[in-house]
Amino acid sequence: MEESLYQLQLDYLMLAREMVLAGQEQKAMFSLGLTPEAVAILKKLPVQKIREIARRECVAFTPRFNANYWSRYLLSEQPADDKLACEYQARDLLMLITGSGNAA
């Protein structure tokens, strides 16, 4: 396994564990995207087991890419007309995905 991926996973899991053990379950769930089940598991896992999980070839967590957050950076680099077009495209895509009306 690539060392940087191992370190990323280990850092994430150890931070999550530290937050949970410090009684910051809600903060860990909000900040790190932990589920209540993950919180319960992290309370019981010894550090050695966390290191084993971090060593696995698959990523142990799912990064959350918030579209609203990242759109700020995408829109700031576009001319005003493009920003408006992007907003319309985003609205149309959301309507299509959610089935909340015609996107036309």
**pLDDT in 10s for each residue of the chain, 104 residues:** 688 889 999 999 999 999 999 999 999 999 898 999 999 999 999 999 999 999 998 888 877 767 777 777 666 555 556 656 777 777 776 766 766 654 44
pLDDT for residue 71: 74
pLDDT of residue 76: 59
What pTM value is reported for the model? Answer: 0.62
3-55: which CATH architecture? Answer: Orthogonal Bundle (1.10)
In whole angstroms, give the CA distance from residue 87 to residue 91.
6
Domain parsing of the chain, residue ranges: 3-55, 67-98
Centroid of chain to Cα 98: 21
| Residue 35, pLDDT score | 92
